Amino acid sequence: MTRVAVLGGGSWGTTLANMLSGKGLEVGLWIREKELVDEIRRTRENSLFLPGIKLDSRLQVSQELIEVMQGADYFLVAIPTQFMRQALQEARELFPGSPVIICASKGVELVTLKPMSAVVQESLQEKDPFYAIISGPSFAGEVSKRLPTAVSLGCRDEDLGRRVQELMSTDFFRVYANPDYKGVELGGALKNIMAIAAGISDGLDFGHDARAALITRGLVEMARLGVALGGREKTFMGLSGMGDLVLTCTGDLSRNRQVGLKLGRGMTLDEILEGSRMVAEGVKTTESVWHLAQKMDVDMPITEQVYQVLFARKDPREAVQDLMSRDLKME
């Protein structure tokens, strides 16, 4: 039987592990917190990150990496972006040669300004890993309820991509393969910045017109950086680009949109982060992508203004006004 090791017991990691277990695969879920492992074993529920969802009785959970990773055919990693490198390095000796890593995290590493494909490759270099990235419009809460969802799977190796596509697909979770893994992973990361921007606009009650403009111009901005980093422009028109962007900019389940809403309504970033147990990847991604855009000389005006609001305490109204008063251009 195919065995999958899922590293990371947040809402998304738990959802994917539960989905694969329900499909009949042998799945082990690694969770760092012992109390959470004990609770899941006792109640079959992850009340911290996925409350109200009963987990498959066959899903194995453990705090011990070796129990989860031993004998696995695939390694699905759903660890927050900024902790990915450390976690992979801690587990490095437990990976077999040429492991298949399926990344379910979205972001750009702050210290190095590198995407997750580079972080995985560098962290497990001597293991010669194969890499795939799953990304697209998918709220954990909806997938956990088996609501219809479609996502992209980026994998350079097309044969492996087809195998992982089959592995991850169910009758409610449809996976489209795409060899442009760079575009897929960057779309999933960059859309979080735009979701914060859309949330700010809605928090200021600027209306549907403003939100639509932010989504549209945000997509242009995402593709501009994506192409500069080796992705294909066409990928950003798909599920991992436009699809995920629309979802996170409009859906109230989006943690990044919620950050923006609260900023638009007058809260500070410190106040928002102190009151949340969930990671909003877009905050750190804004910081790393702002530095990356500066380094590569890529024009990203929305990212620039979100960065100023988050890290320079710029007034959100002033940020929007600066966007609206930029030099006029051709579309």
Catalytic residues: 191
Residues in the chain: 331
Which helix (H) or strand (E) segment is 153 a member of? strand 149-154
Give the angle 83-152-5 at the CA atoms, nearest 5°. 45
Q: How far is CA 11 from CA 85, 130, 219, 279, in A?
A: 20, 25, 26, 10
β-strand pairing of 60-62 with 173-178: unpaired
Q: Which has the closest alpha carbon to 157: 140, 127, 180?
A: 180
Q: Which has the closest alpha carbon to 29: 43, 44, 18, 42?
A: 18
DSSP letter for 173, please.
E
CA dist., res. 215 & res. 290, Å (int): 18
CA dist., res. 281 & res. 287, Å (int): 10
Through-space distance between the first and last CA atoms of the chain, rounded to whole angstroms: 53
* Residue corresponding to tokens 């760079």: 182
